[in-house]
A and B are shown apart, each in its own frame.
Chain A
Amino acid sequence: MEILGYRRPDGKVGIRNHILIIPTSVCASTVAANIARQIPDAVALPNQHGCCQIGPDHLQTLRTLVGFGKNPNVAAVLVVGLGCEGIPIQETAAEIAASGKPVEVVIIQEIGGTLRAEAEGLRKASEFVRQVSHQLPAKVDISELSLAIECGGSDFTSGLASNPAVGIAADLLVAAGGNVMLSETTEFIGAEHVLARRAKTPEVAEKLFKIVHDCEERAKYLNIDIRDGQPTPGNIAGGISSIEEKSLGCIYKAGHAPIQDVLKYGEIPKGKGLYVMDTPGQDIESITGMLAGGATIVIFTTGRGTPTGSPIAPVIKITANPRTFKIMEDNIDLDASPIISGEETIEQVGHRIYEEIISVSNGRRTKAESLGYKEFGIYKIAPTY
């Protein structure tokens, strides 16, 4: 099976051709946003972090920003720094440039204020527009795809219908040689033993148990109860009674393939097949981690309905709740509710989802893309100092 994609200098394939503006800290985010405002083909990350972060929290922010720059959906990158932030500006740019794509840098304190920085940024970004405008997508094998799977605003239909249907599509992509990522460690709680049976090696199973254990311990360390946040009020209204129930429904979306490895937040997988990434259950932070890990397309199942998109990747929204599809048709791409009414099987809808993945890979815009939704959020793992 072939799809259309953009082959990057490092050999990886994207399905979109974005010019990305990365502010290395919150202090540079306004300049980045102002540049993107004038260049319709460019998109800026709304970075809220990047300074006064320590240890693994600092490294995680760095890994996420670099991962976004390296993502194959990105054709060229403009790095905008303030000049005195904790995230090293030139190092960030150099790491991204190692992937072979064009990277430019503007530093506000060096160039002399925001107006000069914006003028220089506009000049560089507009040059990128002309530079990448002649790139056309070419036929590539579907195994070049990297699919991130997310669920959010879950209700009873998620575990019963949309997640198992996405699991079918995930299995099809893994069988075709592609990459699939499952995330949201919070939503493995109570289901980790089921997932661990599919780990490729005992070490991978051990890693799975560890990330779930650490997630629970973090809550206990803060003397809080996961029940205060999970399930969410919307989950409860939708019939989900506990994190265990939510988790057992969640993991269906990863299908049945063996789990190759457990990745750190934002880590790029080394091979093909199904991977688990250690992210929180919060949708935006979870998707951000998987995109930093190189995912190029996102499937998002929802029960209650959600508008989420991404700055650099198409997000396909699916619900099996017939009311939600009707109420939120502006946001939801695919109606899986025929599974609930008994008109279609999980397998049939799974194949429809796979067709949708192919169509969106070939350039068709999702509803989130057409509405301009561009959420981005880095998962912080320590306080800011």
Chain B
Amino acid sequence: MKNLLILLSAAALLILSSCKDSTPTPTPVVVDQLKISIQPTFGPMNLNLDQTYVTAEGYNLQYTDIRFYVTSLSYNSKELCQAALFDYRENGTSFITQPGKPADFPSLNGFFGVDLAYNHDDPTVWPTTSPLNIIVANDMHWDWNPGYIFLKVEAKVDTLNDGVDNFNHYVVFHVGGDNLLQSVELSGYNWSQVSQGVFQLPLKLDMQKFLQNGAQTIDVKSEHSSHSMVGEEELSSKVIQNLKDALSPL
């Protein structure tokens, strides 16, 4: 009887252990993350949409939309990000979050705008998380040709310096087209560790410099609209160059 009990116990142990879920708990793989943020400013001040700033010409101006694409961002042949869309109203200062190691990206090169390699692709075939997917791109896509809108800057301006708020002058810059694609280079920065395995590169986008870029100024009273159409080449080019130049390490 004693032997039988031992036998039964051993059998029960064997059966129970054979039926239980034996999947081993995987050891989590820690992957470093690189985050790039962009803080829009107006000169030394952090910029908020719908808030009033004064231009060099003395106009009261409220930015209402700031969006742009950066694509093929890489160091040498190592790509950090295929495409990123900065959308201040929707996503705040958040720009890029990708797996990677800081040492692999001591500087970054890419395009301000959408790389020719993608600009005329079918916008429906990108993964649903890609900024180039038509649902994510939303109104940042005109058509297969000319392709994506590289940048949107919209603002309301009160051009009358009469002490009465009347923001009835609209600024609409929608710039794109292969010939306006700009190379962009970011260097002279340091990734800073913000938490375990997370490294951040904070950038700033100076929207005062966007209007006053050295000799290349934009007077929003007379230069207030561009859709990159024929006849708008000069302003379109100035807009995208100025916005690119407004971007720098914080």
Chain A partners chain B: no
| Interface residues in chain A, defined as those with a beta carbon under 8 Å from any beta carbon in chain B | none
| Interface residues in chain B, defined as those with a beta carbon under 8 Å from any beta carbon in chain A | none
